[in-house]
Amino acid sequence: MPLKEIECQNCGTRLKKRVGEAINLSENPKVIKDVKEGKINFSYCPKCKAKIEHKSHVLLTYLDPPRWIWLVSQKYQNPRYREEFFSSVIPPGSAELIDQDMVFVEFGTPCESLEYILENKLPQTSKDWMELGKIHTGDEAVDCYKNALKINSALSEAKNLLNEELDKLKSYR
């Protein structure tokens, strides 16, 4: 990981940190625990103790089968960002070659829902589907909320989140 200078957005203190832009999980499976526990891509300012994100996104990769998982800061969570990001980083015609996903996280905070993404498995409860929807955007989030409601149609939070996501999609399209 390269050593880069980062700046605290709170107080302006500059510090040098090792910043990972991509992590190969096939070669570093022990890092998966750190990813789920929110222990990557951030540090605390030594002066004011504010949390500092090193980058707005980190690429997690698997080699076999080829898979990319983009962890992106929650502040960018909307369908437009996802589409524009993918169109800017993926060469035309190669999207079918690599399974890709984008999830939105708060770096420095544990995210249990990442387990479903990293281990490529499906949630079993309505609560888990709802939590998975919270780290997605667009059609992926809508599908998660619908799955939560299939299991428990009385979940008012899932209904509200579904409607919010549908409104985002309407305003985007």
Segment 105-123 shows an average pLDDT of 92
100 and 134 in a common domain: no
- Tokens at 49, concatenated: 């103790």
Please indicate, yes or no, whether residues 103 and 43 belong to a single structural domain of this protein.
yes
Q: Does the structure show a pLDDT above 90 at 82?
A: no
**Burial status of residue 58 (CB atoms within 10 A of its CB: 0-12, 13-18, 19 or more):** buried
β-bridge mates for residue 16, sequence order: 5
Instruction: Output the pLDDT for position 100.
Output: 85
Domain identity same for 135 and 169 = yes
pLDDT at 87: 81
**Picking from 70-74, 98-102, 132-136, 154-158, which range would have the lowest pLDDT averaged per residue?**
98-102
Tokens of 94: 């190669």
Q: Indicate whether 69 and 142 sit together in one domain.
A: no
156 and 73 co-located in one domain: no
Structure token pair of residue 25: 């999980």
Query: 19 and 83 share a domain?
Result: yes
Q: What is the mean pLDDT of residues 95-117?
A: 89
Mean pLDDT of 47-67: 91
3 state SS of 22:
strand
Domain hosting 137: range is 122-173
- Of 115, 138, 157, the position where a domain reaches its end is 115
Same domain for 126 and 43: no
Helix axes 79-89, 156-172, angle to 10 degrees: 60
> Tokens 């991509």 label which residue?
22
**What mean pLDDT is predicted for residues 109-133?**
93
114 CB-near residues (< 8 Å, 6+ apart): 35, 36, 103, 105, 135
Does residue 134 share a domain with residue 104?
no
Count of structural domains within the chain = 2
Closest CA to 35 of 11, 59, 51, 12: 59
> Quick one: which H or E segment has residue 105?
strand 99-105
126 and 110 together in one domain: no
93 and 17 share one domain: yes
* Same domain, yes or no: 57 and 104: yes
Q: For residues 44-65, give the mean pLDDT.
A: 92
Q: Residue 95: its pLDDT value, please?
A: 66
Mean pLDDT of the chain: 90
Q: At residue 91, does pLDDT exceed 80?
A: no
Supply the pLDDT for residue 98.
Answer: 77
